Chain A
């Protein structure tokens, strides 16, 4: 059974940093692109970052480019999201997700972790 379990969320002040982790199990982690998707309270979904199988290629939307860094450790079957210079608009539930295929969809999602950016 595929499982994605996020951790590392919490309350952080604007301008500070936070690192999220995602522990994957039930599949060969190194064979899949992975991603982070977020959802602000009562809002829709927003793609945040994607990383290739080896970690050599990463992709971000303009809203987080230069502030967020996605990385992975295939030996530990773990995905990370380093978030710097956090803003109030980064407040959201962050989901770890597996890219399902070449069509660019997410076939498995974690339960999500809440990040609140507030003074």
Chain B
């Protein structure tokens, strides 16, 4: 099983600040996918296949990485970006998720 470790677990950012969330895999994966989940709602696909933005995702978001190290970056934090972000790999079964990073507004 491929274990995904996200860091940090929790962080706070000010409006306008650049934010980087990381996801490390215990073995190499072909792609990483990211989901945003706001409190009390279903997860939403946010970034897929490492760097492609899902429909409606603002272009201040970007994704990058390869092998065992991946990241999600917010170029300039906005209020609406406060949420929990999960990474996920679908390269090999069992598909696995990271533990999540809770991003709060400072």
From the candidates A47, A59, A105, A109, name the one contacting B49 in the complex (CB within 8 A). A105
Decide yes or no whether A61 CB sits under 8 A from chain B. yes
Number of A-B contacts (CB under 8 A): 69
B24 interface residue per 8 A CB criterion:
no
**What count of chain B residues pass the 8 Å CB interface test?**
25
A105 engages B88 (CB within 8 Å)? yes
Cα A107 to Cα B49 in complex, Å, equals 12
What is the interface size of chain A, counting residues whose CB is below 8 A from a CB of the partner? Answer: 24
The chain B residue with its CB closest to the CB of A93 is B42
- When distances are taken between beta carbons in the complex, the residues of chain B under 8 Å from A60 are 94
Q: Is A55 an interface residue (CB 8 A)?
A: no
B67 close to chain A: CB less than 8 A = no
Whether the Cβ atoms of B49 and A101 lie closer than 8 Å is yes
- B residues near A (Cβ < 8 Å) are 1, 30-31, 33, 35, 42-45, 48-49, 54, 86, 88-91, 93-100
